[in-house]
Amino acid sequence: MLQFNFMTTHALRHDMPSSIASTESWLALGSATLLLLYGAMRRSPAGALGAIAATPLLYRGITGRWPGFLAGVMPEDTKTALSGERGVRVHESIRLELPVNDVYRFWRRIENLPRFMSHLESVAENPDGRSHWVAVGPGDYRIEWDAEIFNEVENQTIAWRSLPGSDVVSAGSVNFDAVRSGQSTQVSVNLQYAPPAGRAGDLVARLFGRAPTQIVREDLRRLKQLLEAGEVAHARPADDPR
């Protein structure tokens, strides 16, 4: 899912309803419920205090706003508080026992990306520096988008973002750091994206074990296998379901 990733934060900002994200609502509701249950079970002054403390959380969980008496204390505007949290964010890193130049050159040839990013079908770079990406998402749903590299420093960093009109709004960067006196390279990936089916799509993906962080981790593991060992480890033929 590294593939249909990469979004710019401000692109989604105006689509979001109310002041809070649904996750936060659920967190607030969940915490409130726990505190209320705890209070009810304790039948003690401490329990009662817990239950009272739960009230604002409950209010926020249901209405999406902090009650008036807390307005000055709690951050009302999550655009400010959570602007970096919109969409899905993924941060992963891996170390390879290769000089930084080898790893950078492999990654910069973005046609190579589908060789280790499992859900990516193809990437084609045009002479003008723009590229066309095709990914296969949940339920074999094909997703396509155009992207551009907007920042690159040789052997250090590559940053890209999707172009207007894409199926997925995304942005990402990968950093290459020479470590262990240059013997090894640490690759760090940062991604933000709006999944095609919004947060629900991400939730479904998580339910099926396709949490984006895990997918990026597996992609990076394959990168490491490919570059270090020269091949990606397989225990069985692809047509053997076990």
Partner 1 sequence: MKAVRYCGAGDIRVEHVPDPQILNPRDAIVKVTATAICGSDLHIYNGYIPTMQTGDILGHEFMGEVVEVGSGNSRLKVGDRVVVPFTIACGRCYFCKEGLWSLCDNSNPNAWMAEKISGYSGSGLFGYSHMYGGYPGGQAEYARVPFADIGPIRVPDSLTDEQVLFLSDIFPTGYMAAENCSIRPGDTIAVWGCGPVGQFAIRSAYLLGAERVIAIDRYPERLALAARGRAETLNYTEVDVLDELRMRTGGQGPDACIDAVGLEAHGTTLDAWYDRIKTSMYLATDRPHVLRQAIGACRKGGTVSIPGVYGGWLDKFPLGAAFAKGLTLKMGQTHMHRYLPSLLARIEHGDIDPSFVITHRVTLDDAPDMYRTFNEKDDKCIKVIIKP
**Residue of 14, 17, 68, 234 that binds partner 1 (CB under 8 A):** 234
229 lies in the binding site for partner 1 (CB under 8 A): yes
Tell me the C-alpha to C-alpha distance, in Å, between residue 113 and each of 79, 85, 155: 33, 26, 17
Q: Is residue 139 a contact residue for partner 1 (CB under 8 A)?
A: no
Residue 182 contacts partner 1 per CB under 8 A: no
Q: Return the residues of window 71-100 that contact partner 1 according to CB under 8 A.
A: 95, 97
The closest alpha carbon to 2, from 225, 179, 223, belongs to 223
- CB of 14 or CB of 236, closer to partner 1: 236
CB of 228 to partner 1, least distance (A): 5
Q: Which two tokens stand for residue 11?
A: 């692109």
Which one, 33 or 213, has the nearer CB to partner 1? 213
Residues binding partner 1: number (CB under 8 A):
20
Residue (41 or 179) nearer to partner 1, CB: 179
Site residues (CB under 8 A) for partner 1, limited to 186-225 = 214, 217-218, 221, 224-225
Binding letters toward partner 1, positions 96-125, x by CB under 8 A: -x----------------------------
Please say which residue, 128 or 240, places its beta carbon nearer to partner 1.
Answer: 240
Q: What binding mask, one character per residue, do residues 1-20 give for partner 1 by CB under 8 A, x or -?
A: --------------------
Residues lying near partner 1 in the complex (CB under 8 A) are found at 95, 97, 184, 214, 217-218, 221, 224-225, 228-237, 242
